[in-house]
Structure 1
Amino acid sequence: MSNFTSIPFTPLRERIAIDQPELLVGLDQVRERIGEADFDKYINSLISLKKSGDLLLLITGKTMYYSIIEQKFIPVLKACFNVSKVRVVSQG
């Protein structure tokens, strides 16, 4: 018998809408620029997205997604969130 409860994953956009609605404009711009499929796979699946001044911090649960975000989406993220630095961290 387990003491753990499984909680379904909530997509990033839904969590941002509740916790950090000021980031929705940037998030929606990213979705428009990279397309719905890539947005859902690589961005909406993030564990966390935080903006602090000129830095955007993304935390992903998959190392492979870390690499793809680093290679393909950094310029878009910088433009959409108006930052000069994006840091991606993988917990996977």
Structure 2
Amino acid sequence: METTRYSVPFSPLQERIAREAPQLSAALNHLLQAMGASDFEKYINSLSALKKVDDHLLLITKKEMYRSVLTGRFLPVIKECFAVKFVRIVSQ
């Protein structure tokens, strides 16, 4: 039996959020303004996933280095923009 494989091209996080979780778009735009376009593109728009449940936020990045930068430089602003108390950032 032959297995069919296909790939889905990566789309920036902003596009996926606008489609799948538009209620988070305002917070994401606030984060863009707070971080600046360059850092936002590099560290946020490249995320594999962003999920918010109540006052918890989960970010999944593809690079451990990006996880370290987000945790070290941007954690307070991420919490503020998404109005959450807890942020978990993991790398794949």
Range class of TM-score, shorter chain = over 0.9
- Counterpart residue type for residue 31 of structure 1: L
Deviations 1:31-70 (A, max 9, x none): 0011000000000000000000110100001111010000
CA distance in 1, matches of 2:49, 2:33: 20
Query: How big is the shift at 1:5?
Result: 3.4
Q: Which residue of 1 aligns with 2:58?
A: 57
Query: How big is the shift at 1:4?
Result: 3.8
Q: Which residue of 1 aligns with 2:20?
A: 19
Structure 1: segments with no counterpart, 5+ residues: none
CA distance in 2, matches of 1:12, 1:33: 17
Matched, 1:86 2:87: yes
- Counterpart residue type for residue 21 of structure 2: Q
Q: How many residues align?
A: 90
- Counterpart residue type for residue 63 of structure 2: K
CA distance in 2, matches of 1:7, 1:82: 31
- Counterpart residue type for residue 47 of structure 1: S
Compute the TM-score of the two structures, normalised by the length of structure 1. 0.92
- Counterpart residue type for residue 58 of structure 1: L
Query: How big is the shift at 1:6?
Result: 3.9
CA distance in 1, matches of 2:10, 2:27: 22
Query: How big is the shift at 1:7?
Result: 3.0
Q: Which residue of 2 aligns with 1:46?
A: 47
Please tell me the root mean square deviation across aligned C-alpha atoms, in Å.
1.3
Matched, 1:32 2:33: yes
